[in-house]
């Protein structure tokens, strides 16, 4: 049996779309003490507001009471101070934008402030774990911990092994994921897109191209895939949830690192150029300005 490190405190770096959800699940389900850090007060405040809103929905549905909600909120400590966030954390989960240089800079900084035994995990959906780990002096303590959007509802976490990741690191992260009541899959080799996005991104890319070429209307494309492949939502709506910019970034990584067949479609690129990114900008394939 592989030994694992005991995790009591978690730091989540990034309070955005994914970061706030990860912080919420860690505090609500895992019952961990969580530091949630971002670079500007408005991002931290926004993340806390989204957590509060999400928990209030649980209260309205009768799935928890006000006291339980306040207990969860008391376990989440928002901050702008990176050093304060990670200096006594056992596990640090990075959830900053999908940019390899930004992530490497973040890991380099975290490496200098975090305790020597702390595990650093990336929520990246496509960037090489081995490359990110190379920015630290603890490659064996770095792995991927890829949550799905929204982390409060989606059951899966992909755990990704980098070239030097130790068995202890993998087991530690698997244990934390299971304490958060998530299902896990282990990606044994560090490859772009891991399992889900390597299969999903080409499908989303083709849906964007079908729409761009005028082959079918938006609603018919989504209906076809929902009923024909039994997806819970259509690919164009899913693109709006993920963000066309995030999808394009992953497609670019897959094209560069794996094969030209992953090349992003004109339709996807045009949506990004027009800033029609989906929910995050209010409009994409659908209008998200009306709740």
Q: What is the pLDDT of residues 247-265, one digit of tens each?
A: 998 899 899 888 999 999 9
Task: Round the average pLDDT of the chain to a whole number and report it.
Answer: 95
Total number of domains constituting the chain: 2
Residue 215 and residue 112 share a domain? no
Query: Does residue 123 sit within a domain?
Result: yes
Residues 233 and 262 reside in one and the same domain: yes
Q: Is residue 281 part of a domain?
A: no
Enzyme catalytic residues: 125, 146, 158, 197
Cis preceding-peptide flag for 120 (omega within 30 of 0): no
Q: What span, in angstroms and rounded, lies between the C-alpha atoms of 122 and 145?
A: 6
Helix (H, G, I), strand (E, B) or coil at 78: strand
Neighbour-count burial of 197, counting CB atoms closer than 10 A to its CB (0-12 exposed, 13-18 middle, 19+ buried): buried
- Provide the pLDDT confidence category of residue 184 given band limits of 50, 70 and 90: very high
Which of 155, 187, 219 is where one domain is finished? 187
pLDDT at residue number 251: 93
241-251 burial, b at 16+ Cβ within 10 Å, e below that, comes to bbbbbbbbbbb
| 259 located within any domain | yes
Candidates 253, 285, 289; CA nearest to 267 is: 285
| Span 276-288, average pLDDT | 94
Residues in the chain, overall count: 291
Whether residues 202 and 178 share a domain: the answer is no
17-71 pLDDT per residue, tens:
899 999 999 999 999 999 999 999 999 999 999 999 999 999 999 999 999 999 9
**Same domain assignment for residues 47 and 94:** yes
Residues 41 and 183 in one domain: yes
Residue 105 in contact with residue 76, Cβ under 8 Å? no
Q: How confident is the model over 126-167, as pLDDT tens digits? A: 889 999 999 999 999 999 999 998 899 999 999 999 999 999
**Does 210 lie in the same domain as 181?**
no
Tell whether the model's pLDDT for residue 1 goes beyond 80: no
Note whether 157 and 240 are same-domain residues. no
Task: Look at residue 3 and tell me if it is in a domain.
Answer: no
Q: Give the per-residue pLDDT at 209.
A: 97
* Residue range(s) defining the domain that contains residue 21: 9-187
pLDDT score of 291: 60
Where residue 204 sits, what CATH number does that domain have?
A: 1.10.1040.10
**Final residue belonging to a domain, choices 187, 210, 241:** 187
Asked, for residue 279, whether it belongs to a domain, the answer is no
Could you report the per-residue pLDDT of 166-181, keeping only the tens digit for each? 999 999 999 999 999 9
Q: Residue 115 — very low, low, confident or very high, per pLDDT cuts 50/70/90? A: very high
Domain at 129, CATH number: 3.40.50.720
Distance CA 20, CA 18 (A): 6
pLDDT in the model for residue 149: 84
Locate all alpha helices (DSSP H) within 114-166, ordered by sequence: 129-133
Shared-domain flag, residues 120 and 249? no
Tens digit of each residue's pLDDT (9 = 90 or more) over 201-246: 999 999 999 999 999 999 999 999 999 999 999 999 999 998 999 8
Whether residues 46 and 148 fall in one domain: yes
- Whether residues 122 and 248 fall in one domain: no
Q: Is residue 207 part of a domain?
A: yes
pLDDT at 93 over 90: yes
Do 17 and 148 have their domain in common? yes
Q: What is the pLDDT of residue 255?
A: 93
The answer on 42 and 174 residing in a single domain is: yes
């Amino acid at each position: 049996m592989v030994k694992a490190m005991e995790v009591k405190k978690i730091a989540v770096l990034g309070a955005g779309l994914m970061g706030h959800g990860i912080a919420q699940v860690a505090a609500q389900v895992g019952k961990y003490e969580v530091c949630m850090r971002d670079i500007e007060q408005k991002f931290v405040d926004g993340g806390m507001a989204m957590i509060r809103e999400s928990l209030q929905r649980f209260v309205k549905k009768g799935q928890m009471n006000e006291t339980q909600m306040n207990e969860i909120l008391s376990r989440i400590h928002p901050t702008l101070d990176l050093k304060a966030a990670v200096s006594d954390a056992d596990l640090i989960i990075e959830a900053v934008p999908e940019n390899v240089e930004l992530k490497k800079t973040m890991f380099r900084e975290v490496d200098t402030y975090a305790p020597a035994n702390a595990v650093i995990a990336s929520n990246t959906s496509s960037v090489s774990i081995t490359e990110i780990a190379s920015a630290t002096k603890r490659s064996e303590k770095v792995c991927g911990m890829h949550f799905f959007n929204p982390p409060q509802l989606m059951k899966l976490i992909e755990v990704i092994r980098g070239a030097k990741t130790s068995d202890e690191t993998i087991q530690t992260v698997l244990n934390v994921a299971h304490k958060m009541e998530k299902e896990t899959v282990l990606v044994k080799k560090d490859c772009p897109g891991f399992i889900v996005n390597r299969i999903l991104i080409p499908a989303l890319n083709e849906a964007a191209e079908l729409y761009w070429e005028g082959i079918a209307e938006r609603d018919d494309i989504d209906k076809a895939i929902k009923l024909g492949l039994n997806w819970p939502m259509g690919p164009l709506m899913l693109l709006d949830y993920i963000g066309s910019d995030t999808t394009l970034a992953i497609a670019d990584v897959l094209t560069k690192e794996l094969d030209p067949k992953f090349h992003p479609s004109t339709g996807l690129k045009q949506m990004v150029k027009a800033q029609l990114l989906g929910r995050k900008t209010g409009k994409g394939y659908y209008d998200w300005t009306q709740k």
